[in-house]
């Protein structure tokens, strides 16, 4: 630490390279010069020590943190509660990393440099409200759906290889009839050395596993639907916007409204903003391959649903095709309009909730 400069008047910026057990922090001064690096435990006491250490260099203006959605989530919440402006630092420049190499101290310093310059940074999700609850439930549902699909595949694969008497008994049943039949079996568990009994035991286990996952998914759907109905009732009331699509779009927007400033930035975040692809005399735009692909998929599902059920949407797409656009280009334009509609509905509901909170 420099002795020729008054520490209380010095403005500093921090950077953190996050890990599971230890976070590596760095601090730079007002001329982007590194003042120090140090490691801290990923506990509340460790976060407190890190904040005190950074403030020991001067007035902490902002903090750049990597991976605020995973290893840095706890640090993000602590720093925001302490009133510190936190920026999420995105992936480092690959060419710079190849030249300088990589270690934890360098990564922390790069995060501090990025936060100082305001480059490679975005406003992180706050992760302290109902949207975070929604995210956790959706992640759990996604893994349960994948596990249920694997269980069903194993059931069909096992039946294909089963002895003839079992295969002939099960092969013509519908899916849920098959699952409930298998789950209701009571094979002799002591006769597992017998081939037919082993198949019955395995199929019963898989059938019960499928039903347990099926019930778990139904419970999670009810919780997700309740949260979506509370956060965006006007959104799910629109044509072809179901609870799953609405939940994903709410996750993309995040808890903190200041993260997305306009409907254009929300469209870019969803990967539906137009990307110029003109050449010579041809003027056109192509599909955006960036942004949140899950949100892009949700918008695509909504667009396809409206294309099947909404006369105005059908007329719009047909008009675009008549003008010389391909069907993919027409759908891209449609997704952009849907993103604008979704952002407007979410923003309006948030303003209404804010007004109610102010009145109360």
> Percentage of residues in the chain with pLDDT exceeding 70?
91
Residue 121, pLDDT > 90, answer no
Residue 35, pLDDT > 90, answer yes
Residue 80's SS3 state is helix
Residue 287, pLDDT > 90, answer no
Which pTM does this prediction carry? 0.78
For strands 22-28 and 121-122, give the pairing. Answer: unpaired
Query: Check: CATH 3.30.420.40 for 7-122?
Result: yes
Please count the other Cβ atoms lying within 10 Å of the Cβ belonging to residue 93: 14
What is the pLDDT at residue 1?
47
Q: Where are the beta strands (DSSP E) in 74-176?
A: 85-89, 121-122
Which of 123-127, 167-171, 237-241, 271-275 shows the lowest per-residue confidence on average (mean pLDDT)? 123-127
Phi-psi region of 155 (alpha: psi -120 to 50; beta: other; left: phi over 0): alpha
The pLDDT of 103-121, averaged and rounded, is 87
294 — pLDDT class (breaks 50, 70, 90): very high
What is the pLDDT at residue 259?
76
Which of 26-40, 123-137, 146-160, 294-308 shows the lowest per-residue confidence on average (mean pLDDT)? 123-137
DSSP string for 176-238: HHHHHHHHH----GGGTTSHHHHHHHHHHHHHHHHHHHHHHHHHHHHHHHHHHHHH-HHHHTS
- Whether residue 7 contacts residue 29, with contact meaning beta carbons closer than 8 Å, is answered with no
Handedness of CA 207, 211, 212, 217 (dihedral sign): positive
- Whether residue 43 contacts residue 36, with contact meaning beta carbons closer than 8 Å, is answered with no
């Amino acid at each position: 630490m420099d002795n020729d400069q008054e520490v209380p008047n010095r403005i500093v910026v921090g950077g953190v390279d996050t890990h599971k057990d230890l976070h590596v922090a760095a601090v730079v001064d007002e001329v982007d010069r590194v003042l120090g690096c140090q490691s801290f435990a990923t506990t509340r006491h460790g976060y407190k020590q890190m904040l005190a250490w950074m403030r020991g260099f001067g007035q902490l203006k902002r903090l750049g943190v990597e991976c605020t959605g995973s290893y840095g989530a706890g640090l993000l919440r602590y720093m925001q509660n302490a009133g510190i402006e936190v920026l999420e630092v995105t992936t480092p420049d690959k060419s710079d990393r190849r030249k300088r190499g990589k270690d934890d101290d360098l990564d922390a310093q790069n995060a501090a440099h990025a936060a100082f310059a305001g480059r490679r940074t975005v406003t992180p999700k706050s992760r302290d409200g109902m949207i975070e609850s929604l995210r956790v439930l959706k992640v759990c549902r996604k893994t349960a759906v994948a596990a249920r699909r694997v269980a069903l595949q194993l059931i069909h694969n096992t039946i294909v290889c089963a002895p003839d008497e079992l295969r002939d008994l099960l092969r013509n049943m519908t899916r849920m009839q098959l699952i409930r039949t298998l789950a209701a079996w009571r094979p002799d568990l002591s006769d597992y050395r017998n081939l037919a009994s082993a198949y019955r035991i395995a199929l019963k286990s898989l059938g019960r596993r499928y039903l347990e996952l099926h019930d778990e998914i139904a419970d999670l759907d009810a919780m997700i639907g309740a949260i979506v109905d509370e956060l965006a009732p006007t959104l799910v009331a629109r044509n072809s916007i179901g609870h799953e699509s609405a939940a994903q779009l709410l996750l993309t927007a995040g808890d903190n409204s200041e993260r997305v400033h306009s409907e254009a930035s929300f469209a870019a975040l969803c990967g539906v903003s137009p990307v110029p692809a003109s050449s010579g005399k041809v003027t056109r735009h192509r599909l955006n391959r960036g942004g949140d692909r899950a949100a892009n998929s949700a918008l695509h599902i909504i667009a396809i649903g409206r294309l099947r059920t909404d006369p105005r949407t059908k007329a719009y797409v047909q008009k675009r095709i008549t003008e010389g656009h391909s069907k993919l280009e027409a759908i891209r334009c449609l997704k952009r309009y849907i993103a604008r509609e979704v952002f407007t509905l979410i923003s309006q509901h948030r303003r209404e909730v804010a007004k109610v909170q102010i009145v109360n």
